[in-house]
A and B are shown apart, each in its own frame.
Chain A
């Protein structure tokens, strides 16, 4: 069902609103009493939310249904209205149009719906009721306020706007500041789908370097917090990945702004971040290996199935790594780490500046140039002679250049966006090379472990051999792509340099 819905906080009696609307010429008729619980779904990145689409599934077997509301109907481009299958009863993810939809918020509703007929004959639904909210899979509900909600089939928005004026101005009901999903997420203190970074954490050109460092660190702490729940529930592998990325960026921010934030604490925090990054990496490496093995298996002659022994071993290794990670994410050490990150990001005293305070807009170009210089040193080497470890080193330098550009992109009117894209290309190519190295090592270890606990089935051994051969081929391809791309690197340097020229900053954008 596609509908536009507007909700208002109900103050005073329902009768006042019902009688008032009747006096204005509407005909109200009580239709049904409803009690149901539903779950809002969205992708991990919040792509539905960003497009103004709200997807609510009611899993009750007797009356299962999907509701789809569009806050901005024109923005909708999805041809299919709702998933065809019933929503899962246990808030597990849903596959829909090649996307994985994850539970975002649970909603419990008790309401009485009225048919509201306008003089024009148009019929709307006006419901009076109460809503309660809960995080996915949580047992406790948080009660919300009494609400009046008006919903209408798509295409009749103008009359809804008129009734909305009556509710707001005449009956003085305060509109819900956002829609029910956003309101509910706020009630249960959860992040918006996709966890968009709050505007207050955007860099401004007159921020000091210290303020910039604090904002960048806050962003990473925010991203880590936003993904903990999903990672712990193992809703989607991307939650672990996002915490890992935030951890890496936080470490890099501490490295970049360590002097301004207090070197001793910054180093201590970097060590703690390395600890959690290690645990996240254990899970992520196995996820990548899992995907790659399935992907490369499809490319092997005869497309053999992944042998059960290998599959089970990988799954059990991941479960173990995830259990260790979960324990860490739920533990005191990680909570303290987040507290310390937030403290350092909020600390207004800080160490005394060792040199005159500069604004971040002045400080950014030297930092970006330093990141480029680290990569330029490798230009002297012939790419064909680089070892896997050296390629991995170059990948890390690309990552740091990318992070540095991303950190300051806001300040330069997003002039680095194209360069960041190119850094990502280098990173992806070298990343795949590194993933292949990791997968090879892990496959060998796996074969050894299986052999040591009572023998490895011959089909599994043959599979490991073929896979390692295939991985070698992938590594060669990656190296070839990198060597070709590496020739273009001086142009990337020139582009980034040009983006920092006067005239490309925020003043130019104005």
Chain B
């Protein structure tokens, strides 16, 4: 079974469409999304509707968690919402309809999937937190102490926007990178593909793809997404903290 692992789409619909088209050409059979589906980009509604239509198996990332917390109205939350860095979340929340909120609320924090006979755990950051990062330098020791599903043979994550795949402590680590907001100096989107054959994971790999960045930048402007910087997408870098 060939599976496409996507993460950190960040409401970039042209990138998601290009990724799905590439995944189709690669004949992937399942679609798994490791969180941060929305936030920062101009197309939250489109992205959710398409993932729902494609029956993607998705988890919530730190962005979805924060967004869902916006539905509460505590004083602390109201204060937090006034911060400039929260403006894009407030904007995103305003775009969503009931059906999109419902979909978001149903997302789990983590998934334990069996592809053929390979147990795979899907998280956003690490098994312990959706705000921690797994970088290519991750050690076996870190993985051992990460609180992983004890029977998992593979760990799929995102969040860092830096794609890689490696073995550590006998576990196949796959960081999908970012479909919609790459920051590794390569403006092309990224996702991961792996073949599950019996008890083995074969050819886990990172796929890079081009998409219509100009359309995205135009939409960021047209829809007045707060804090959006087209240059980041054009250059594939992060100019300031997310």
Give residues of chain A (37-77) contacting chain B, Cβ–Cβ below 8 Å.
none
- Known A-B contacts A119-B97, A158-B95; A165 and B53 likewise in contact (beta carbons under 8 Å): no
B50 touches A24 (CB 8 A): yes
The reply to whether the CB of B223 lies closer than 8 angstroms to some CB of chain A is yes
Task: Determine the distance from Cα of A73 to Cα of B118 in the docked complex, in whole angstroms.
Answer: 55
Contacts of A24 in B (CB 8 A): 49-50, 53
Given A25-B49, A169-B17, A170-B17, verify A161-B99 contact (CB < 8 Å). Answer: no
- Chain B's closest residue to A119 (CB) is B99
Complex CA distance for A170 and B222, rounded to whole angstroms? 19
Would you give the shortest CB distance from B92 to chain A, in whole angstroms? 13
A3 to B53, CA, bound (A): 29
Residues of the B chain whose Cβ atoms lie less than 8 Å from the Cβ of A165: 13-14, 43, 46, 219
A9 to chain B minimum Cβ distance, whole angstroms, is 15
In the docked arrangement, what's the CA distance between A168 and B218, Å? 13
> If A119-B97, A162-B45, A162-B46 touch, does A168 touch B53 (CB 8 Å cutoff)?
no
Does B215 have its Cβ within 8 Å of any Cβ on chain A? yes
- What separation, in Å, do the CA atoms of A148 and B49 have in the docked complex? 21
How far in angstroms is the closest Cβ of chain A from B99? 6
Judge whether A120 is part of the interface by a CB distance below 8 angstroms. Answer: yes
Nearest residue, chain A, Cβ from B45: A162
Q: Are A169 and B212 in contact (CB under 8 A)?
A: yes
The answer to whether B13 and A120 touch across the interface, beta carbons within 8 angstroms, is: no
A172: which B residues are within 8 A, CB to CB? 17
CA distance A15 to B209 in the complex (A): 28
In the complex, the answer to whether B212 meets A23 with C-beta atoms within 8 Å is: no
Is A166 in contact with chain B by the CB < 8 A criterion?
yes
Tell me the B30-50 residues at the A interface (CB within 8 Å). Answer: 43, 45-46, 49-50
> Are A169 and B13 closer than 8 Å at their CB atoms?
yes
Residues of chain A in range 1-44 having any CB-CB distance to chain B below 8 Å: 23-25
B53→A23 contact, CB < 8 A: yes
A24 to B103, CA, bound (A): 14
| B53 touching A25, Cβ below 8 Å | yes
Q: Is the CB of A120 within 8 A of B46?
A: no
Contact A120 B97, beta carbon cutoff 8 Å: yes
Contacts of A23 in B (CB 8 A): 53
A166 to B20, CA, bound (A): 13
Determine the chain A residues whose CB is within 8 A of the CB of B46 once the complex forms. Answer: 162, 165-166, 169
Q: How many residues of B contact A (CB 8 A)?
A: 18
How near does chain A come to B5, taking the closest CB pair, in angstroms? Answer: 21
Partner of B215, one of A120, A158, A168: A168
B215 to chain A: which residues have CB within 8 Å? 168-169
- What distance in Å separates the Cβ of A484 from its nearest Cβ neighbour in chain B? 51
Interfacial residues of chain B within 64-111, with CB under 8 A of chain A in the complex: 95, 97, 99
Chain A nearest Cβ from B18, distance in angstroms: 8
| Complex CA–CA separation, A119 to B222 (angstroms) | 24
Q: How far is the CB of B53 from chain A (nearest CB, A)?
A: 5
- CB 8 Å contact bits of B45-63 with A (1 = contact, 0 = none): 1100110010000000000
Bound Cα distance A177, B212 (Å): 15
Among A24, A119, A170, residue most surrounded by chain B Cβ atoms (within 10 Å): A170
Within residues 5 to 24 of chain B, which ones have a CB less than 8 A from any CB in chain A? 13-14, 16-17
A190 to B50, CA, bound (A): 41
- A166–B43 Cα distance when bound, in Å, is 10
Residues of A with C-beta under 8 A to B17? 169-170, 172
- Which chain A positions have C-beta within 8 A of B223? 161
A-B pairs, top 8 by smallest CB distance, nearest first, are: A169-B17, A165-B46, A169-B14, A165-B13, A162-B45, A24-B53, A169-B13, A170-B17
A158-B95, A161-B223, A165-B219 known, 13 other contacts, Cβ within 8 Å: A24-B53, A25-B53, A119-B97, A119-B99, A120-B97, A161-B222, A162-B46, A165-B14, A168-B215, A169-B46, A169-B212, A169-B215, A170-B17
Residues of B within 8 A of A (CB): 13-14, 16-17, 43, 45-46, 49-50, 53, 95, 97, 99, 212, 215, 219, 222-223
- CB<8 Å pairs between A and B, sample of 17: A23-B53, A24-B53, A25-B53, A25-B99, A119-B99, A120-B97, A158-B95, A162-B45, A166-B50, A168-B14, A169-B13, A169-B14, A169-B16, A169-B17, A169-B46, A170-B13, A172-B17
Residues of A within 8 A of B (CB): 23-25, 119-120, 158, 161-162, 165-166, 168-170, 172
